[in-house]
């Protein structure tokens, strides 16, 4: 991820709406603010999965994320 290595990145989306391209730049803080609700929404399913597996977060050594972001 570009924001892991630098303070600012460019977002480019071709044909975002009716053939109009979208270009902007963003820093980490505003991006995190935009995503915080999504991040928080993942907590309850993870807690449920741990509870169903009768595990605690201390039992988790690593997390493997697969698939795309869509």
Domains of the chain, by residue range, sit at 2-59
Task: List, for residues 37-67, the tens digit of each pLDDT value.
Answer: 988 998 999 999 999 999 999 999 998 888 7
Task: List, for residues 25-40, the tens digit of each pLDDT value.
Answer: 999 889 889 889 988 9
- Contact, 11 vs 22, CB < 8 A? yes
By CB atoms closer than 10 A (0-12, 13-18, 19+), residue 28 is middle
Task: List, for residues 4-32, the tens digit of each pLDDT value.
Answer: 788 898 999 999 999 999 999 999 889 88
């Amino acid at each position: 991820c570009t924001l892991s290595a630098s303070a600012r990145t460019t977002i480019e989306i071709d044909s975002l709406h009716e053939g109009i391209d979208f270009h902007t730049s963003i820093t980490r803080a505003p991006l995190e603010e935009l995503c915080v609700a999504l991040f928080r929404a993942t907590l309850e399913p993870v807690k449920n999965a741990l509870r169903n597996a009768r595990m605690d977060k201390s039992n988790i050594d690593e997390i493997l994320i697969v698939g795309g972001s869509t």
